[in-house]
Amino acid sequence: MKLPAPSGPLRLVLLSCLMLFVELALIRWTGSNVVYLSYFSNFVLLGSFLGIGIGFLRGRAKVDLFRYAPVALAFLVGLVLIFPVRIDRSGSDLIYFGHFEPTGLPVWVTLPFIFIAVAAVMAMIAEGVARAFVEFAPLDAYRYDIAGSLLGIVGFSLLSLTWAPPVAWAIMVALLFAVLLRPRPRLLASAALLGLVVLLGGESLVSAWSWSPYYKVTSVSYPDKPDETYLFVNGIPHQSAVSVETRRDQDPVYFVPYQRISGPLDRVLIVGAGTGTDVAVALSEGANHVDAVEIDPRLQQIGALRHPDRPYADPRVTVVIDDGRAFLERSHASYDLILFALPDSLTLVSGQSSLRLESYLFTVEALRSARERLAPGGAFAMYNYYREDWLIDRLAGTLATVYGHAPCLDSVGSVGKLAVLTVAPEPGSVRCDATWTAGDTAAAATPATDDHPFLYLRQRAIPEIYLVTLGLILGLSLVAVRVVAGPFRAMRGYADLFCMGAAFLLLETKNVVQFALLFGTTWFVNALVFAGVLLAVLLAIEVARRVRLPSPAVLYAALLATLALAWLVPVESLLALDPGPRFAAATVVSFAPIFLANLVFAQRFREVEASNLAFGANLLGAMLGGVLEYMALLSGYQALLIAVGLLYLAAFASGPLRLGVGRRPA
């Protein structure tokens, strides 16, 4: 007996779940195989919003493209697997570590293909959502859509929690498609879903590859060095698990911090402990206890299993899986040495911001927190491969600002080689062979801050490659929307919803980065924020359904007041609170604007005549918000609240002024 396809609210919930799940999976998976996407922060997100917007605009079209979505998705996955890109990009303004030859297609081919292919896949899926969406009253449809999105993020987060490989994502997607395409899925769609599972299953079964919540991790051992393990993450050389003696022979500079300090090593903190080599070095230098902080549980696990010195098995070591900045803010311990040991994440917090996992480790405020954790006579050190002189100047200048005097500088070779910066509150606590002096680039290399945490951005500017890419994205999007939806005047009546979409995306981005600062840049915090946003939206919908709302002018005034509150409350005042009060205060400051913004949206959306066009306009506005997010590279994140306020003022000016007044809830 053939089971019928789900209908009614259940179908819309499942479709929305599928749409968000695929979006999250594409952001995560494409970035692991195409390294360009690790640094073009929200590139896949922009393609997703364009596709979803187009899909909703096609919600009443005669030809149903949803049935072809599995084919488009399998095609995208297949080509990415055939032409992976495992290189890094650099420029004079924005640098990334790593300098490797390309193994795939050039950037000018790869990025347009990814953007167009993602937009096409999401447009086909979104068209299925839109066709179910228009069967309900607008506010009811929005309610079911948010409920499905919440299921999607919960499902993807659970798979991240278990370090599930891509084949698990493919099985989830295939099952949802199989249910939604009943009772008669086409042979082509069935073959595509099977191909999707086989393709990602093949990738998942490669013994050298494993998946953490952040990376595709490749573990390599060579026949002539069987005890050594080398790790690649998302296609980039990242770490090695080698013995202390090998490290002493090959990279003696790793031992320099211990040569510079004169006091005891009763307690050492290592941030970016990774596979454990830095921990092993600390133990070999006489550390009585080491707190090893690592954000990625898989990297730490590989070190525990494969490091030849077995440092994580030593009873003197305490392992902490957490964000380094969050640990510094939470800890009350004192350390004789705090070491930032090559904490390059090589990935971003989410597909929705330019924030890297380690961004908040190198700000003035973070280094002040580290100084507060030093015991009397203690010292701080950091080392890394610094490809540019100005980056050394930035970090050394930041340390000079925090400690009041220049740090020791030890380096091997020219630019691109390993360098060590060591400093202590008391200058006599360290012995310097050479002290940093400001070079020609020091004036421009101002310290990173919690509001502008872009360590690898030389100056406050949007790099040219970003400007060109974003301009092409906007141009292509205008053409695509015009071709699909016809003249733009069809959406002119929903200009306010377009502005709301742009404003809300910026507001959501601001919350993601603020919670990352307050509670850590971990995947778990990120997932909680997105789930919290969806719950706030759902709560606003339920209030709008049950309560007679005041006039738009009153709601907009309340919204702008909460934005002003978020602007006026300094984030450092929240960081000063204990974790419980900090969470409560941050929730009020961050989610009050989200709740009120969705009351405004719900009041307006309830009255629309064509819900698919209205929602499509809102989603295309969100795409514009994703482009405007790059303004943070110029202004910092706090200033995004000004852009949010201006966009909501534009929405108020272009929307109906007496909408919903006196109307009883449905």
Chain Cα centroid distance, residue 185: 35
Average pLDDT in the chain:
88
Question: Among residues of the chain, what percentage have pLDDT more than 70?
Answer: 90
Distance CA 319, CA 313 (A): 10
pLDDT of residue 1 exceeding 50: no
Span 607-636, average pLDDT: 92
- CATH code of the domain occupying 216-344+364-429: 3.40.50.150
φ/ψ (deg, to 5) at 484: -80, -45
Question: Among residues of the chain, what percentage have pLDDT more than 90?
Answer: 64
Distance CA 38, CA 24 (A): 14
What residues form DSSP beta bridges with 290?
268, 317
- The better pLDDT of the pair 96, 270 is held by 270
Span 441-458, average pLDDT: 82
The confidence score (pLDDT) of residue 411 equals 82
* Window from 100-114, 204-218, 553-567 with minimum mean pLDDT: 100-114
Confidence of residue 66 (pLDDT cuts 50, 70, 90): very high
Architecture of domain 8-207+459-654: Up-down Bundle (1.20)
Contacts of 665 (CB under 8 A, 6+ apart): 544, 545, 546, 547, 548
The confidence score (pLDDT) of residue 244 equals 94
**CA end-to-end span of the chain:** 39
The confidence score (pLDDT) of residue 297 equals 95
Q: Torsion over CA of 285, 291, 296 and 298, rounded to 10 degrees?
A: 70
Confidence of residue 345 (pLDDT cuts 50, 70, 90): low
Tens of pLDDT, residue by residue over 457-474, are 888 888 888 888 888 889
- In this structure, what DSSP letter does residue 266 have? S
Tens of pLDDT, residue by residue over 283-323, are 999 999 999 999 999 999 999 999 999 999 999 999 999 99
pLDDT of residue 334 exceeding 50: yes
* Window from 100-109, 307-316, 606-615 with minimum mean pLDDT: 100-109
| Pick from 227, 586, 567, 524: nearest CA to 349 | 524
**Residue ranges, CATH 1.20.1250, the chain:** 8-207+459-654
The confidence score (pLDDT) of residue 350 equals 53
pLDDT of residue 630 exceeding 80: yes
Span 33-56, average pLDDT: 84
| Pick from 75, 78, 72, 101: nearest CA to 88 | 101
pLDDT of residue 61 exceeding 90: no
Read off the pTM: 0.90
Confidence of residue 86 (pLDDT cuts 50, 70, 90): low
* Window from 78-87, 135-144, 489-498, 647-656 with minimum mean pLDDT: 78-87
| Pick from 536, 471, 500: nearest CA to 616 | 500
**Residue ranges, CATH 3.40.50.150, the chain:** 216-344+364-429
The confidence score (pLDDT) of residue 141 equals 95
The confidence score (pLDDT) of residue 658 equals 57
Contact of 405 with 427, CB cutoff 8 Å? yes
Distance CA 151, CA 149 (A): 5
Fill in the amino acid letter for 4: P
Distance CA 169, CA 73 (A): 13
Contact of 268 with 335, CB cutoff 8 Å? yes
Residue 183 preceded by cis peptide, ω within 30: yes
Span 154-166, average pLDDT: 93
Total H helices, total E strands in the chain: 23, 11
| Pick from 384, 350, 628: nearest CA to 514 | 350
Tens of pLDDT, residue by residue over 551-585, are 999 999 999 999 999 999 988 899 988 888 999 99
The confidence score (pLDDT) of residue 5 equals 66
Confidence of residue 415 (pLDDT cuts 50, 70, 90): very low
The confidence score (pLDDT) of residue 539 equals 96
The confidence score (pLDDT) of residue 506 equals 95
Confidence of residue 124 (pLDDT cuts 50, 70, 90): very high
The confidence score (pLDDT) of residue 545 equals 92
Alpha helices by DSSP H, 348-489? 364-372, 389-403, 464-485
The confidence score (pLDDT) of residue 95 equals 43
Contact of 125 with 19, CB cutoff 8 Å? yes
Distance CA 169, CA 159 (A): 8
Span 489-515, average pLDDT: 91
The confidence score (pLDDT) of residue 87 equals 44
Chain Cα centroid distance, residue 500: 22
